[in-house]
Amino acid sequence: MEQTKKPKNEIWEWSKALIIAFGLAFIIRYFLFTPIVVDGESMMPTLEHGERMVVNKIGYQIGELQRFDIVVFHASQEKDYVKRVIGLPGDHVAYKNDQLYINGEIQEEPYLDSYKAQLPSGTLTEDFTLEEYTQKSIIPEGYVFVMGDNRRNSLDSREIGLVSIEEIIGDTNVVFWPLNEMGLVK
């Protein structure tokens, strides 16, 4: 009689451990962190097609959105985009002579330096103003202006418009695959 009781207890203990493990994995995956695969070349050279990253979903619940953060947002029900935040609510965004201006002040973009150095001639980012793409003089509350680092080949706020902060899943700056590219990106 002892022998039949012991296997049942062991099965029950293993079942509890598995339920707890799957429950924790579910909570972590859906509420805290999730993986994403970079799809396309819009964030090159910072991010390459096929790289896998960790999205921090809780970061914006605790902290604030910062200019130049790399974020993941719902572009449609089927597609999420990875882009860089360029303009925040209340900002006026403009480019002139391949230079970013926020509220009339020049902003450095060191993450573009290596890409600009590779260009034989010409500019990486064409001249534009916020008004040309959004018909707004400043970014309204609850929205951001995003761009890919590969400015010549990026579907971003210049085409899709301003992004609602509510559509942002989280920020990302950790590449975990491929192993030779593993690390932090900025």
What residues are annotated to the active site?
Answer: 42, 83
Q: What is the phi-psi region of residue 142: left when phi exceeds 0, alpha when psi lies from -120 to 50, beta otherwise?
A: left
What letter would DSSP give residue 185?
A: -
Tell me the residue ranges of DSSP E strands in 148-182. 163-164, 168-177
Residue 151, φ and ψ in degrees, nearest 5: -60, -25
Tell me phi and psi for residue 36, to 5 degrees.
-140, 145
> How many angstroms separate the Cα of 158 from the Cα of each of 64, 163, 170?
24, 11, 21
How distant, in Å, are the alpha carbons of 83, 147, 160, 181 from that of 176? 18, 23, 29, 7
Give the residue from 128, 140, 69, 58 showing the smallest Cα distance to 100: 128
